[in-house]
A and B are shown apart, each in its own frame.
Chain A
């Protein structure tokens, strides 16, 4: 089945928040953010802004009736800064005006005085100064201290990954309207409707029941709207409460980029020890996560880095420590992979480092250390259903790896100005929210008296096709034409206390809840049928929309059965509740079984580097992926292709650039470059491995949202391979993204360059001797 939203999308009829036709009298909000990254607010003068015709009101922390607090995990984030600011762009006020143009003009007239304090943008510096969001955590297995003695080779180094802007094409936004009796209805572009509801109630000082949050769909989320859709919705609701008017707050792209957090940059130290036969005996890693100015989801992201510190390898002795470092950047947040990719990059760097020193290819080390059934993860979970060896064999069926290596060597021998490189990137990604309590969901199913069906779940549709999968689940159980099933918007009055659509687990959790509700309704209808047909319940057959039985010739089609059930006063509504079994995690011991299952895969990447210009093309990415038993191949394939390209973007052209004052210089689409149609691999070849799937996956169709992003990491190492072919003296820095700049500097030994770009005045640079 094709994505059920596709038709609306291609005709332009799908509705996003900003497409909701404004009610007359709607006012528009524009956020005034701090011009400095750290300091005390001495004064803010709104007088001139308020004088501008069309400006209705400027809302600040003083207008908040409840708590000035929106922090989810930790209460450390104000909605509007009251005394201090901690990052550039931190909201101080909301200008409410008759049009957004007026509000933008008014914003230019606000005068703010801030007594500046020291700005920290480097996580290691923050750690030195004791600026941590939460105490550090360590995952440990075996004994690394003892294990170093057993190692033939030991290597140490550092690795860095920069952040990543989500760049959902639809910016953050919300539209709040006043209802009766002080109730407020918010249309929000959020992955977490309940998070918005909870924060709004807290800030307004009302019960959650007064706030209704409705989400039709998102124009992309990728984690960026899990926690960070909240402030704008709360601000709109606050305006609503204060002014009793509908308020729309849609962020301008540059505001969105400056004010919202991104994927966490990490800088990490590693130490790896290998035996003579290339087995990884011990691995230590210390991660410094750049959390930004408030907790947001950083503690959970940090945790997932630890969970994925050893990626797809079994290592008997592991010690991984992570620090969540508080800096003066916007609070960094969830982004597809959620800390996992950052952890995996470091072990891949450690392996690449080892391979270079030992004089073998990275894949020789990767292959002999692949995880297998029964192996223990550093957090205590025993690996099950591991198909990595099978996947490796499948990808290498025609000796592909060796053949590619030979082909590349031959090419490089005969080309002087262009070089090719390759890499392998295995992925093991755990599925479940690592906070066990979040692994629950509900679904509400109405069968209307005419036999048509309405479904509400806690799942938010953001392009990942979850609504299509939900519809498939219900239509399949009810034997209905999908046209007779409607997926309702995600709404907190219909499905409450939801977990955000995140962690790749949305389809599993909500789909299972939906299955429970649908099965319960079917059970009721089957009971009715057994009464009507006067046979035992076990003899009822439901096939192609018809209830019949194996004992007599009586039968009833779906619509008639529903009509009968209604007249018989049988409830045609059901609420399904699902909580993932098995999973648990003990944070004191840092051991447990946090994941319902893992998703596995392997990518082979080939690139060509233009050694004159430092540019590159990605030739091929061959992937073998463990879909389980895919319930929707076109949706799942789209997730793999899209995730891969997003991961490639993170590793290549997407460069977040904050200066030392915490100012974002890459604050627009002209300075922050995600892949365009010419930047993608010429060939992406995805092979589905036939696997059993997991009973904990919806219809045994494994989660597919996040894992493919990490295939993109392979591009970094393939480029590095090509750079080394041109410049044998190249010293790896494991500093992603591998921009054109870093490639060129690496090709000509100007490495390490001034990667931390300084603001220098015109023409003061001297000419490095290498260039003369």
Chain B
């Protein structure tokens, strides 16, 4: 039994916990404002908000309901477009998000519009001061084919302005007062506290579902699943004695917002922005990315370069670089699961970088990605970990390239020479994400980019090519 609040009503559903939130909303509850565009999290027409009660406070995040199993919303508040404005008659009052979208002509055919309105409402509900950049980031998972986005951008600017003076300690109350959201939002925490039942934890383990529900939705929607979100103990990011531990259920957004991560990775914003979109980052888990074993998993490349170790429920602990035996072949028992990821925080002289190029810069799957963590002392490469995705059957830890570089003087010649080794360590194939030749060239370029970006005075493109 799944129990949650949908807009202003309690829902008790006996549908399989693996069935999709989107189908329940549209077909069981007849809330047709939420649209179906792609069923793979790539258009945002099905965006809804999920509100989680944490320490007495509601936190709302936009997610794609087409990839969200019902089990993942147990005990939460689900908000659809219909729940953002309860007035029903023809002359009803639009809330400011809706009003600015109309005034700036941010809607043409209207099919994607609901998703934009929901995402922008999620932006309003954040417990922080509104910035234009955050407004745009909130709609980075929403695709529009009509407007060319400029009118939506203008609306987002007005919405940001209208949020000036938001009381971030009392976000919901302030938004209710300013008529951004209906009054019932204030009653939600208490109502959620009354939900004491627990969702079942049998069936296939599902993290965010953002890969599984793209690959085999038909299989999953008819059965119960074991949702990671029902394992709060797996959601944490800690640092102790120079070792960082990330709970396997942490989402990409959790990393993004983590002060621990922000301290370790000064360019975290840049890196994370290249990984999928806000609604996907809000649900996709790190362990899910590892277990999915896609050769182009962005987070896998990220953590490989940190020489991370993974801990399993059954107690085993291995290096992430040893996890992949072959294409989608993992060193892991079928009934086991990852519980945590650990890595030594990079030293004071260490630098980290993540690079990714895809057909579209944002909200896309990499043609090639790569990450590096490198420590240079007195011009000598003391320690180096380099990863690459999209150039082999698994996410690669470039062992030979690293071995070659370690101990060498950092200069253009070294970097250049290591490329030859790297080219022999990879085996890209031609596919929809690019030809093999392109992927080779691209990895070389991104590998150069690491050094050009991290050591601009020592390494230059001109000398390299």
Contact = CB atoms under 8 A, between A and B. Distances in A.
27 contacts: A7-B94, A9-B113, A10-B102, A101-B221, A101-B222, A169-B35, A169-B37, A169-B143, A169-B144, A218-B109, A463-B109, A643-B148, A657-B432, A669-B42, A670-B42, A670-B365, A671-B432, A675-B149, A676-B362, A741-B367, A744-B442, A744-B445, A745-B441, A750-B437, A763-B392, A767-B440, A771-B437
Contacts of B42: 668-670
Given A669-B42, A771-B423, A464 B94 contact: no
A613 B393 contact: no
A397 to B, nearest CB: 23
Contact of A464 (B108, B436, B442, B461): B108
B243 interface: no
Nearest to A99: B27
Given A6-B105, A219-B109, A678-B361, A665 B431 contact: yes
Contact of A465 (B108, B392, B446): B108
B143 A612 contact: no
A641 B151 contact: yes
B448 interface: yes
A11 B94 contact: yes
Contacts of B17: none
A10 B360 contact: no
A750 B445 CA distance: 13
Contacts of B140: 676-678
Contact of B461 (A6, A7, A611): A611
A3 B358 CA distance: 36
A166 B37 CA distance: 13
Contacts of B139: 677
Given A642-B108, A646-B148, A765 B101 contact: no
A653 B360 contact: yes
A300 interface: no
Contacts of B147: 638, 641-642, 645
Interface stretch (A15-23, A35-43, A231-239): A15-23
A62 to B, nearest CB: 28
Interface in A65-99: none
Interface string A1-35: 01101111111111110110100000000000000
A646 B142 CA distance: 16
A614 interface: yes
Given A10-B107, A757-B435, A760-B436, 15 more contacts: A10-B101, A14-B110, A19-B32, A253-B40, A416-B462, A614-B442, A634-B105, A641-B149, A643-B148, A646-B148, A665-B431, A678-B136, A678-B361, A679-B360, A765-B440
A51 interface: no
B462 A612 contact: no
With most chain B CB atoms within 10 A of its CB, the pick from A464, A657, A670, A758 is A670
Interface in B298-348: none
A683 B80 CA distance: 33
A612 B445 contact: yes
B153 interface: yes
A7 B359 CA distance: 35
A679 B358 CA distance: 12
A614 B359 CA distance: 10
B33 A169 contact: no
A417 B460 CA distance: 9
A244 interface: no
A187 to B, nearest CB: 14
Contacts of B85: 11
Given A6-B107, A771-B444, A678 B362 contact: yes
B246 interface: no
Nearest to A686: B150
B92 A668 contact: no
A11 B111 contact: no
B107 A101 contact: no
A760 B43 CA distance: 31
Contacts of B420: 772
Instruction: Tell me the dominant secondary structure on chain A's binding face.
Output: loop
Nearest to B424: A767
Interface in A588-615: 611-615
B130 interface: no
Interface residues of B, number: 96
4 A-B pairs with the lowest CB-CB distances in the bound complex, closest first: A12-B33, A463-B109, A219-B111, A9-B110
Interface string B102-125: 110101111111100100000000
A677 B107 contact: no
Interface string A748-766: 1010011101111111110
Given A753-B437, A762-B427, A677 B105 contact: no
A613 B445 contact: yes
B442 A638 contact: no
Query: Which one of B97, B355, B436 has the highest number of Cβ atoms from chain A below 10 Å of its Cβ?
Result: B436
A220 B109 contact: yes
A495 interface: no
A559 interface: no
B53 interface: no
B185 interface: no
A59 interface: no
Contacts of B387: none
Contact of A655 (B142, B146, B359, B431): B359
Contact of B435 (A170, A615, A753, A762): A753
Contacts of B427: 762-763, 765
Contacts of B222: 101
A684 interface: yes
A653 B358 CA distance: 9
Contacts of B37: 169-171, 253, 669
Contacts of A14: 110
Contacts of A765: 427-430, 436-437, 440
Nearest to A659: B432
B400 to A, nearest CB: 15
Interface string A722-742: 000000000000000001110
B164 interface: no
A673 B103 contact: no
Nearest to B465: A748
A514 interface: no
Nearest to A221: B109
B298 to A, nearest CB: 13
Contacts of A152: none
Contact of A613 (B45, B105, B355, B424): B355
B81 A12 contact: yes
Nearest to A104: B218
B264 interface: no
B419 A772 contact: yes
A465 B146 CA distance: 11
B434 interface: yes
A613 B357 contact: yes
B34 interface: yes
Nearest to A253: B38
A462 interface: yes
A407 to B, nearest CB: 23
B444 A638 contact: no
B152 interface: yes
Nearest to B148: A645
A740 B367 contact: yes
A43 B374 CA distance: 61
B252 interface: no
A612 B452 contact: yes
Contacts of B438: 741, 744-745, 750, 753
B364 interface: yes
Contact of A745 (B80, B108, B112, B437): B437
B435 A101 contact: no
A6 B103 CA distance: 9
A363 interface: no
Interface string B133-168: 000100110111111111111000000000000000
Interface string B409-434: 00000000001100110011111111
B72 interface: no
B441 A750 contact: yes
